[in-house]
């Protein structure tokens, strides 16, 4: 619009709405222009994706339209460059419109708007064709900045009902569209459903419409907003005047901001509190790992298991002098607890366990004293509970980012991805910051009135501590509870771990803002239904129950802790942690029944564990119903400024959720994996018992495992003793790291609720179908098996991964042998067995595995020096066999076989390596002394066959 000149000092002025309209029109032309040109010139090329083209896919995605081809890319980039001017102007005018004294939110929002505009330029001018990584970085940054921009604009929206209504609608549509967007992207990328990418494209274009439309609403606010260019000295008229007060012409009754003053010192306090909670959960979740190392290597009870009881240190608060000292000087105990972060410097496993045990004992005592000391200050108590709960959320996100390993655990060090030094430095600062003596003492709980039962309160604490640790200390645990193999019919660890994290955040906020709902029996009933659905069902339905349970557990936690602090901390927290320890042993006993006294009594009773857990929580809810704030007079409740304190923790949760979404995007599986020697149609398959990913020196071993698997050029590998999704194994999943880093599909195998020690399959080839089997085990431990069908170079090949029962139970192994032999014999396709059989070659059960019933053959019948690991095959050509020493990674070697797909079985004639084509040879790296303790052993070289 042409500027309107006026007399006097005003040189020019125009209505602010035209900035908004200019931005909307030019941005729309950029996208629509590219779409029209692209459809007209390259329609079939821009609807083509990596799996399908026209007619299965018939509408182009945004990225394909604006970034893949000339001239549509140039059309988009030209108009989007023109859009930058109105965009920066819009951000500036919005700041002028909403700026208030003593309010930092408008400044923050302006910064977010500028950052968002710059990142838009990043993904616009660096397309996915130019540099996929940087394009994704800018795109993620843009989406991350969109959340505070959207929420901030709504919070600062002037008193304009029409504009506020449209903003809420468009913001809801924008974020709501992300759900079907992700769904159809998964259908395309993971399930490879024809036409799914076209549906994804529609939702992607809808995001553009809602995003541009949201900013277009500013035109309604700018209608009464005049932008004036004024000559304050009268130079344009040849005269000089005193400057007028521009503020009188700006901001006439534009409404008040819907936000409170943001104080950075209070925000830093909240961040420090949360970091302390993160350190607590990191320490607690590491203890089980360290304790598990000893019975694992002793093959039985070692005595070090007693260290699980260090968490009952709050019992010492029964001493009045110590309780008073701990409450007044809680900083000392928090600082002492940080010794656990320095445990990585202790290389001896025993002393490392001692160090972590001491640190955790101090941490449990410190947090109990912290909560008890804040019992008379509702606002402060609530903030400490929030910090502790959000600390669990932060710990889960850290593991989500690092593929289920917490980088500050004592099994990590800097050479294998540990952040130990940084973590300790930040922890010291956080403790010093968050343990300053409070200046506002707050209001007090009434001394009179019912307090409920301290015994029941302790039971509730024990139940919820166990529930949070066993189910929510890793975002993939409940996902693997409902996992049943390929084709995928439920959530996968990445990206759906972010769903678990989101539910945790929702539950935490629900428990604080709506405590009456969280502590109600209705909520308990809903949570119990969720637990039942998770326990009894698989796939998406089971996961929906898990999400309901997740929200409930996080929501009820503040209520139970608030109730517990009204009693003696020694009784509630000391006894509560004792109950937690008993529940930990209970949930270990159900799978370790063959190794522990009384184990058969609770064999495979995960349902009993869940029922007991919910009964314990119910006991705590019953006590809280008497003692919580329902009995506190309104005049004695938390001060009104508690709302502001809560807001900082809500900001932390929002930031963590954004981080979680970004991690999920970065970890999304590419599903474009390539075998090492596809020209020769070779398959290199291996079997390895990985001993729960703890090496001989109690360090995490997945990086060393990855190196050996990569250097041996394995296309398919079966892993045994691989189920780590229990408290004693750290609630980890090594297969996530290996699959993502090596570029492989993965089947985790029977989940943690199936009571096995684990069997997993990783493959460079697509897994068309897989089924999980629990073989007969009337006496000993359950024997897991995976029967998978892989698409190898266009031919279907079966792969079976199997772990037989232990030596002490011969009848179990006989039944398992018959079951597996019939299973293998039921398929006429080419098949490879990667197994742990517990038998001598040519003796006993071996002759059932290798028989006419199964149709299987031994990869090398002359190899007499075997007891556990075997590779068998049928209807596929075997070309090579090797045994590679374990180094210090585990207690079992890696066995590897080479096969050629599409060719019949060969003879048993051995040939020398110089008769074998280069592409069919094993790597020479492991000859002689090998590398890192890995070398060809037993035969000292690979064997090859005609």
Helix pair angle (72-98, 17-46), 10° resolution: 150
**Alpha carbon distance 92, 110 (integer Å):** 7
Burial of 478 (0-12, 13-18, 19+ CB in 10 A): buried
Q: Which residue has the tokens 């209505």?
A: 15
**Alpha carbon distance 367, 561 (integer Å):** 11
Q: Which residue has the tokens 């637990």?
A: 531
Please name the residues in contact with 748: beta carbons below 8 A apart, sequence gap of 6 or more: 480, 483, 722, 723, 733, 735, 760
Which tokens go with 280?
């607590």
Are residues 75 and 212 in contact, defined by beta-carbon separation less than 8 angstroms? no
DSSP string computed for 337-394: HGGGGGGGG--SHHHHHHHHHHHHHHHHHHHHHHHHHTTT-HHHHHHHHHHHHHHHHH
Neighbours of 140 (CB within 10 A): 18
884 — phi, psi (to 5°)?
-120, 130
CA distances for 117 relative to 35, 137, 371, 648, angstroms: 22, 14, 44, 26
Burial 12-44 (b: 16+ CB within 10 A, else e): eeebbbebbbbbbbbbbbbbbbbbebbeeebee
Which phi-psi region, left, alpha or beta, contains residue 632 (left: φ > 0; alpha: ψ -120 to 50)? beta
**Among candidates 904, 852, 854, which has minimal Cα distance to 878?**
904
4 — phi, psi (to 5°)?
-105, 110
For 772-814, the three-class secondary structure string (H helix, E strand, C coil) is EEEECCCCCCCEEEEEEEEEECCEEEEEEEEECCCCCCHHHHH
Which tokens go with 583?
């529940």
**Alpha carbon distance 342, 331 (integer Å):** 18
Q: How many Å separate Cα 924 from the centre of its chain?
A: 38
Which tokens go with 100?
């208030």
Q: CA torsion 417→422→424→428, rounded to 10°? A: -160
**Alpha carbon distance 67, 925 (integer Å):** 43
**Alpha carbon distance 545, 533 (integer Å):** 5
Q: Which residues pair with 799 in a beta bridge?
A: 788, 832
- H/E stretch holding 769: strand 767-775
409 — phi, psi (to 5°)?
-65, 155
Whether omega for the bond prior to residue 534 falls within 30 degrees of 0, making it cis, is no
Helix pair angle (196-216, 17-46), 10° resolution: 170
Burial of 880 (0-12, 13-18, 19+ CB in 10 A): buried
132 is known as an active-site residue: no
Burial of 742 (0-12, 13-18, 19+ CB in 10 A): middle
Neighbours of 69 (CB within 10 A): 19
Which of 42, 803, 934, 937 is catalytic? The answer is 803
**Alpha carbon distance 265, 269 (integer Å):** 6
Whether omega for the bond prior to residue 135 falls within 30 degrees of 0, making it cis, is no
Helix (H, G, I), strand (E, B) or coil at 3: coil
**Alpha carbon distance 700, 689 (integer Å):** 15
The residues that are catalytic are 803
């Amino acid at each position: 619009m042409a500027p309107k000149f006026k007399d006097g000092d005003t040189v020019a002025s125009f209505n602010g709405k035209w900035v908004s309209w200019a931005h909307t029109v030019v941005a729309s032309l950029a996208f629509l222009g590219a779409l029209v040109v692209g459809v007209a010139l390259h329609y079939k090329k821009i609807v083509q994706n990596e799996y399908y083209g026209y007619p299965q896919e018939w509408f182009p995605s945004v990225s394909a339209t604006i970034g893949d081809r000339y001239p549509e890319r140039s059309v988009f980039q030209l108009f989007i460059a023109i859009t930058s001017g109105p965009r920066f102007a819009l951000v500036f005018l919005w700041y002028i419109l909403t700026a208030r004294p003593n309010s930092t939110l408008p400044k923050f929002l302006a910064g977010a708007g500028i950052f968002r505009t710059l990142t838009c330029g990043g993904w616009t001018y660096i397309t996915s064709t130019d540099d996929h990584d940087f394009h994704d970085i800018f795109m993620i940054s843009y989406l991350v900045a969109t959340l505070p921009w959207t929420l901030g604009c709504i919070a600062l929206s002037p008193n304009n009902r029409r504009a506020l209504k449209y903003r809420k609608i468009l913001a809801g549509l924008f974020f709501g569209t992300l759900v079907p967007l992700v769904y159809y992207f998964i259908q395309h990328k993971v399930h490879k459903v024809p036409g799914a990418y076209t549906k994804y494209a529609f939702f992607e274009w809808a995001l553009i419409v809602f995003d541009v439309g949201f900013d277009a609403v500013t035109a309604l606010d700018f209608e009464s907003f005049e932008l004036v260019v004024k000559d304050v000295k009268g130079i344009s008229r040849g005269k000089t005047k005193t400057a007028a007060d521009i503020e009188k012409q700006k901001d006439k009754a534009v409404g008040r901001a819907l936000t409170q003053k943001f104080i950075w010192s209070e925000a830093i306090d909240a961040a420090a509190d949360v970091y302390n909670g993160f350190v607590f959960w990191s320490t607690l979740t590491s203890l089980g790992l360290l304790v598990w190392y000893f019975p694992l290597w002793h093959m039985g009870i070692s005595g070090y298991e007693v260290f699980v009881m260090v968490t009952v240190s709050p019992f010492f608060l029964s001493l009045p002098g110590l309780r008073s000292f701990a409450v007044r000087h809680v900083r000392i105990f928090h600082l002492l607890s940080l010794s656990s972060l320095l445990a990585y410097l202790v290389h001896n496993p025993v002393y490392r366990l001692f160090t972590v045990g001491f640190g955790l004992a101090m941490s449990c005592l410190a947090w109990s004293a912290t909560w008890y000391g804040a019992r008379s200050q509702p606002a402060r108590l609530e903030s400490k509970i929030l910090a502790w709960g959000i600390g669990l959320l932060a710990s889960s996100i850290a593991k989500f980012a690092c593929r289920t390993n917490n980088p500050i655990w004592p099994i990590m060090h800097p050479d294998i991805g540990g952040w130990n030094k940084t973590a300790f430095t930040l922890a010291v600062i956080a403790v010093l910051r968050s343990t300053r003596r409070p200046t506002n003492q707050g209001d007090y709980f009434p001394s009179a009135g019912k307090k409920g039962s301290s015994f029941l309160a302790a039971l509730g604490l024990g139940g919820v501590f166990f529930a949070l640790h066993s189910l929510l200390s890793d975002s993939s645990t409940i996902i693997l509870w409902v996992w049943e193999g390929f084709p995928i019919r439920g959530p996968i660890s990445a990206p759906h771990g972010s769903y678990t994290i989101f539910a945790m955040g929702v539950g935490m906020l629900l428990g604080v803002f709506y405590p009456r709902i969280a502590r109600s029996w209705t909520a308990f009933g809903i949570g119990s239904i969720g637990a039942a659905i998770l326990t009894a069902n698989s796939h998406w339905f089971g996961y929906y129950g898990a999400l309901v349970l997740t929200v409930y557990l996080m929501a009820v936690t503040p209520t139970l802790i608030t109730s517990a602090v009204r009693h003696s901390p020694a009784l509630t927290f000391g006894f509560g942690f004792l109950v937690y320890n008993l529940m930990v042993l209970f949930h270990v006993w159900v799978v370790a029944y063959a190794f522990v006294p009384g184990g058969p009594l609770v064999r495979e009773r995960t349902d009993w564990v869940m029922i007991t857990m919910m009964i314990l929580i119910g006991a705590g809810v019953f006590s809280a119903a008497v003692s919580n704030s329902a009995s506190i007079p309104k005049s004695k409740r938390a001060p009104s400024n508690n709302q502001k304190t809560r807001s900082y923790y809500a900001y932390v949760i929002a930031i963590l959720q954004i981080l979680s979404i970004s991690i999920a995007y970065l970890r999304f599986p590419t599903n474009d994996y390539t075998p090492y020697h596809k020209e020769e149609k070779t398959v290199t398959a291996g079997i390895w018992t990985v001993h729960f990913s703890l090496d001989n020196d109690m360090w995490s071993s997945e990086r060393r495992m990855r190196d050996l698997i990569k250097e041996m050029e394995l296309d398919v590998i079966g892993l045994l003793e691989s189920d780590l999704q229990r408290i004693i194994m750290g609630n980890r999943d090594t297969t996530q790291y290996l699959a993502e880093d090596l570029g492989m599909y993965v089947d985790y195998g029977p989940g943690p609720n199936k009571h096995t020690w684990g069997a997993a399959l990783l493959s460079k080839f697509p897994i068309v179908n897989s089924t999980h089997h629990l073989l007969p085990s009337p006496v000993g431990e359950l024997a897991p098996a995976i029967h998978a069908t892989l698409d190898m170079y266009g031919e279907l090949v079966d792969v079976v991964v199997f772990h037989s029962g232990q030596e002490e139970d011969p009848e179990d192994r006989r039944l398992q042998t018959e079951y597996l032999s019939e299973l293998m014999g039921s398929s006429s396709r080419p098949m490879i067995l990667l197994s742990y059989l517990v038998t001598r070659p040519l003796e006993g059960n071996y002759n059932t595995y290798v028989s006419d019933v199964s149709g299987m053959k031994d990869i090398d019948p002359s190899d007499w020096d075997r007891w556990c690991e075997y590779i068998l095959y049928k209807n596929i050509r075997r070309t090579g066999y090797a045994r590679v020493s374990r180094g210090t990674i585990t207690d079992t070697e890696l066995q590897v076989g080479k096969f050629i797909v599409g060719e019949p079985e060969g003879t048993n004639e051995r040939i020398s390596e110089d008769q074998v084509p280069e592409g069919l040879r094993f790597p020479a790296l492991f000859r002689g002394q090998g590398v890192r303790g890995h070398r060809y052993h037993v035969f000292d070289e690979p064997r090859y066959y005609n």
